[in-house]
A = this chain, B = another copy of it.
């Protein structure tokens, strides 16, 4: 029986990341990535517009995981309507973060850690990552506003959600962290709550 072969996109992604980590993002060409994956440049451009797109999932797809989480939390939505515009808002935000946890299953951890090392070594990529997370916060705030949350509360809640997500991500990709993404994120959220309450 033939052994299962990863698809072209995945082979390109893995080859690119290994090259980026060894030689730095700027030191690698698309031709080299394609060659390392045993594919042509033309195939590369069928999947990615450029080298950077290997590292950055489509923003809409990335955000969709958060929005699905938010939409799926029917308890929180009900509660929000029942009890007003502040209680229940962070519960909604946390539901969004839970949705995002689906992006980071165990088998993705190594890839995510490598990707982050490549990004941390390159100011341009760090800026791109910053913009990605800032855009996410704006999208989440928009959704909350559409659900009737006032502007300031929506902004504070969405930004706090992204703060928790970022901190959880950094912990999850650290060497020897045994917990899964969702568990880490839950614990960081509790830590934020304790911190802000303590004043």
List residues of chain A with CB under 8 Å of any chain B CB.
Answer: 86-91, 127, 130-131, 134, 152-153, 155-157, 159-160, 163-164, 166-167, 170-171, 188, 191-199
* A198 B130 Cβ-Cβ under 8 A: no
Q: Are B191 and A153 in contact (CB under 8 A)?
A: yes
Q: Tell me whether A152 and B188 are in contact in the complex, defined as CB-CB below 8 angstroms, given that A134-B130, A160-B160 are known contacts.
A: yes
List of B residues within 8 angstroms of A153 by Cβ: 191, 195
Is B156 touching A198 in the complex (CB atoms < 8 A)?
no
A192–B160 CB distance below 8 A: yes
Copies in the complex: 2
Task: Compute how far the CA of A171 lies from the CA of B159 in the bound complex, rounded to whole angstroms.
Answer: 16
Q: Which listed residue, B89, B163, B196, touches A193 by the CB 8 Å rule? A: B196
Is A199 a contact of B156 with CB atoms below 8 Å?
no
Contacts of A152 in B (CB 8 A): 167, 171, 188, 191
The CA of A157 and the CA of B91, in the complex, are separated in Å by 20
10 tightest CB-CB pairs across the interface, nearest first? A159-B163, A87-B198, A196-B196, A90-B199, A156-B192, A155-B167, A86-B198, A130-B134, A193-B196, A197-B197
Q: Give CA–CA (A165, B172) in the complex, Å.
A: 28
List residues of chain B with CB within 8 A of the CB of A91: 199
| A137: min CB distance to chain B, Å | 9
A and B contact pairs by CB, cutoff 8 A, 22 listed? A86-B194, A86-B195, A87-B198, A87-B199, A89-B198, A127-B127, A152-B167, A152-B171, A155-B166, A156-B163, A156-B167, A156-B188, A156-B191, A156-B192, A159-B159, A159-B163, A159-B166, A159-B167, A160-B192, A160-B196, A163-B163, A197-B197
Q: Which residues of B contact A131 (CB under 8 A)?
A: 127, 130
Given contacts A130-B131, A155-B167, A167-B155, contact A193 B199 (CB under 8 A): yes
